Structure 1
């Protein structure tokens, strides 16, 4: 293929089309007319010998070839941008929107100080907090380019993600102070009452259930909720019990907490982005702010005198 025959602007339009799976939305995003984007789609279909977007019932869906193109296309465009990138824009002059995936914990703790910092130092950076649907979905969003940053547990993997550890979290068992199990807390008392499970996907089993199964034990899940914020009030008004990350138990809730009666490993919290975004000053600044905010909450998570990010 003769590379001189390829219009790079066509690839920019294709990137928007594959993100939106909708001609009108892609046109609005790019500031182009709908006929121009439709014509570009037809040219892309010829270039890749594939329909790319197929019509369904009132919508369009990406073909298998289109799905396979999404991540490589974003990586290619990011590389071209870095190649011809102008001098860095001062933080105060940046204007961009970043999409961040995280659960309501730690969002409740992070978002107020994060917005306060951005308001003073980079007021043109806008944030979109995307709904939490699990670590696998967060990873997929970073690879596909539908998310820019994600806070979760990201084990090492060969998927071109950059990840940095923010803190290490431990679990506690929480219940109301006058709960029957609180009088003489034990494994038997813990398992004798229904539990709360937090799952953005509506799962009815979590990591604790695998730990219990390894001991030949099981628990009853009394209720599954999508957010951690719902849990304290549920515990205060019922005999429900929850095992939560320690930072999810607000002191003001007045709940009784105990160490889990079986060993349950804690977990690291990471912030992650795709390597193609390494040159994005706004993204890396927000990632650094998130790390700084959490390091103040957990001063042991960073060595003294060092920074989690070298920007």
Structure 2
């Protein structure tokens, strides 16, 4: 446990220095980013080494490399700086028109392809200096139950890597603020004139050649599990990592694919695709907007959370699939 002497030697600026040197792997570039002289950087590193009782960074011909101790403390230091930044931002007044903040949103491509364009359009007017960083949400699927597929994003929110997630999750721990938006259904897409469109029965569905969207490379998804429960199976000819690639593949072949209904409605015509109801009930995927409750005191994050919710509600949901209030 740190004593008063240790705390008196601690300085948040030293933690920021550590963060930048670790990112740059070069003392000179770190100094340029921090607008500090070489002597100031050297002095700060000496204080850090004394404070943490480790060399932290070792010189190489191309810069510096972190020691094992530096890598060990990197995540705790990043968490400390994230919390401090959030605390400072939370007490500052937030004015969308003049704010120049950057928010990080994580979503699967089927979701972001629909709600991001109208969100960006709205921000251009309401908050012209705000920027967005969008991360493709990557699920955990291999070897695990399907209900765990999207849960890794919660750890990313906890770590401060993501501000807001738009995810098919309806059961999250109490530390998260979740707004239920809709329950999405899937449809089958194919090129115009495809024989399946004439008779979209379950029997014919199983005889078709399929594209499966599989972020992790699994060759079985929820539909396959549902079919297996009925004693049925389908032939997955191709797996792709996102829905955009699936739409493109279907447009140029005899393949068919199951995609979210609203994505098919909004993006399908661009690829010359038609759709039919999925001939087997796989349930409806819940779509939620999620952020950490602890940081919702941040007026800027609260404002952006509401903008994302509005974009999802208005531009993603089908009229018949909204959740009840």
TM interval, shorter chain, is 0.7 to 0.9
> What is the SS of the residue equivalent to 1:150?
strand
> Deviations for 1:105-142, whole angstroms, at most 9, x for unmatched residues?
22232232222211212111011223442334533432
2:116 aligns to what? 111
Q: Mean alpha-carbon deviation: is it higher for 246-255 or for 154-163?
A: 154-163
2:214 aligns to what? 199
> Deviations for 1:86-106, whole angstroms, at most 9, x for unmatched residues?
4x1322121112222223322
Instruction: Report if aligned partners of 1:179, 1:239 keep a CA contact under 8 Å in 2.
Output: yes
Cα deviation, residue 240, structure 1? 1.0
Q: Mean alpha-carbon deviation: is it higher for 240-249 or for 210-219?
A: 210-219
Cα deviation, residue 37, structure 1? 5.4
Q: Which residues of structure 2 form unaligned runs of 5+?
A: 140-149
**Residues 81-230 of structure 1 aligned to structure 2 (within 5 Å):** 81=88, 85-86=91-92, 88-134=93-139, 135-158=150-173, 160-230=175-245
**Please, what TM-score do these two structures have when normalized by structure 2?**
0.74
1:288 aligns to what? 306
* Aligned residue pair count: 301
Cα RMSD, aligned residues only = 3.7
2:80 aligns to what? 73
Instruction: Report if aligned partners of 2:249, 2:255 keep a CA contact under 8 Å in 1.
Output: yes
> What is the SS of the residue equivalent to 1:242?
strand
Q: CA, structure 1 residues 71+246, in 2 after alignment: closer, same or farther (shift >3 Å)?
A: farther
Q: CA, structure 1 residues 80+186, in 2 after alignment: closer, same or farther (shift >3 Å)?
A: closer
Q: Mean alpha-carbon deviation: is it higher for 66-75 or for 97-106?
A: 66-75
> What is the SS of the residue equivalent to 2:14?
helix
Instruction: Tell me the distance in 1 between the aligned counterparts of 2:166 and 2:31.
Output: 31
Instruction: Report if aligned partners of 1:54, 1:62 keep a CA contact under 8 Å in 2.
Output: no
Matched, 1:263 2:281: yes
> Deviations for 1:13-50, whole angstroms, at most 9, x for unmatched residues?
445566x3745676565554677557646644554567
Instruction: Report if aligned partners of 2:89, 2:298 keep a CA contact under 8 Å in 1.
Output: no
Matched, 1:240 2:258: no
Cα deviation, residue 244, structure 1? 1.0
**Please, what TM-score do these two structures have when normalized by structure 1?**
0.77
Q: CA, structure 1 residues 81+215, in 2 after alignment: closer, same or farther (shift >3 Å)?
A: same
> Deviations for 1:245-285, whole angstroms, at most 9, x for unmatched residues?
11110352554433333320111222223344323333322
Instruction: Report if aligned partners of 2:79, 2:160 keep a CA contact under 8 Å in 1.
Output: no
